[in-house]
Amino acid sequence: MAERLPKLVMTCTPQRISFAGGGTDLADYYRRDYGAVLSTTINKFVYVTVKRHGEVFAEKYRLNYYQSENVSSLSDMKNEIARECLRLVDVDPPLYISTVGDLPAESGLGGSSAFAVGLLNALHAMRGDRVSSVQLVEEAAHVEIRVLKRPIGKQDHAATAIGGFNYFRFNADDSLSVLPHSDATANLSHLFEHVLLFWTGISRDSASVLTEQKDHIKDRVAELDAMREQAETLSRLLRNHLDINAFARILDEGWHLKRTLASTITNARIDAWYDAAKAAGAFGGKLCGAGGGGFLLFLAPPNRHNAICHALGELRRISIGFEPSGSRLMLPHID
């Protein structure tokens, strides 16, 4: 009997927080030696649905994201990630594709890469393919970095496809090494008890920030080397007795290093919010993602959380938790 393929697939792909090493996952840096990032996935997700489109509809592809598209050829598709994922993993049309996330797009938590990973995962499932998380990493990175020429690294693809709390090493030969920390449950629980995440209300296109950062890598090797070492130091802390003060101090040092990588990573408003949180009792923190907006992350003792929320009263606090899984299938359906 021929294999019956699903007519509808839904994937759930987590977003991520990077604690240290961001920027060292750019090929222009790691190919000279290696890069390293420490990150965790969180319980905020991007959901992607792929469905066999109804025969009565005229278009070959219907897309729903923050815009809607009805097109009859891939070349007419404006959503670049969707278009190139469909070219890479061929699934015969007609298709309906939709995506929705728990958090705003362009907010520094790996949302676009989570969409790429989740869509590729869904397209493979529509074909009946068995695909590993490492294959999803490489395919999503291929789409965003090689095909679309986006000035990003591979850390978001790795985090969202694999899931959990990991130390990622980006080797000079383009291979990926993963040291998981998800089994350090006591340390992870202790860490997340101290985490505060605030939405600045600023969505931004990271391309301009990352392009400037990428163009100046050769002038910032010392800073990037130090940020890589911070990822390694934090990884060692998680493997032993976790000292939150030491962890947060390195986070704070990393934020000050990151600010030197591009001129638009921070601004007066972001600096004022950061200083206000520190004055209210935060041990340290950083702006998530490329910079210029998105989410502010802090580590602070639980008894100072209310004071910090009051000090940042204009910002919305987002409750998050640890997510151990990477991109996964939620709903394959076969008639």
Q: Where are the domains of the chain?
A: 8-183+325-329, 185-317
Query: What is the C-alpha separation between 283 and 281, in angstroms, rounded?
Result: 6
Average pLDDT over residues 109-119: 96
- The per-residue b/e assignment along 113-144, b for 16 or more CB within 10 angstroms, e otherwise, is bbbbbbbbbbbbbbeeeebebeebbbbbbbbb
Q: Which fold has domain 185-317?
A: Alpha-Beta Plaits (3.30.70)
Region of poorest pLDDT, from 28-32, 244-248, 288-292: 288-292
332 has a pLDDT exceeding 90: no
What per-residue confidence (pLDDT) applies to 113? Answer: 96
3-state secondary structure (DSSP) of residue 244:
helix
204 has a pLDDT exceeding 80: no
Q: Which residues pair with 287 in a beta bridge?
A: 296
What per-residue confidence (pLDDT) applies to 18? Answer: 95
Distance set, CA 104 to CA 41, 63, 248, 307 (Å): 16, 18, 26, 26
**Torsion region of 201: left, alpha or beta (phi above 0 gives left; psi -120 to 50 gives alpha):** left
- 20, 37 Cβ separation under 8 angstroms: yes
239 has a pLDDT exceeding 70: yes
Query: What is the C-alpha separation between 212 and 104, in angstroms, rounded?
Result: 24
Side chain identity at residue 37, one-letter code: V
3-state secondary structure (DSSP) of residue 38:
strand
2 has a pLDDT exceeding 70: no
Side chain identity at residue 50, one-letter code: V
What is the DSSP secondary structure assignment for residue 56, as one 8-state letter? T
Say which CATH class 8-183+325-329 falls into. Answer: alpha beta
Residue 228: name the closest of 26, 40, 41 by CA: 26
Torsion angles phi and psi, residue 124, rounded to 5 = -60, -40
- 85, 42 Cβ separation under 8 angstroms: no
Average pLDDT over residues 243-249: 95
pTM of the model: 0.93
Average pLDDT over residues 257-282: 91
What per-residue confidence (pLDDT) applies to 26? Answer: 93
What per-residue confidence (pLDDT) applies to 212? Answer: 73
What per-residue confidence (pLDDT) applies to 1? Answer: 35
42 has a pLDDT exceeding 80: yes
Residue 106: name the closest of 231, 283, 293, 233 by CA: 293
What per-residue confidence (pLDDT) applies to 319? Answer: 95
Average pLDDT over residues 147-152: 93
Q: What's the whole-number average pLDDT of the chain?
A: 92
Model confidence at 117, in pLDDT bands (50, 70, 90)? very high
What per-residue confidence (pLDDT) applies to 208? Answer: 64
Average pLDDT over residues 66-95: 95
Residue 229: name the closest of 194, 253, 195 by CA: 253
3-state secondary structure (DSSP) of residue 68:
strand
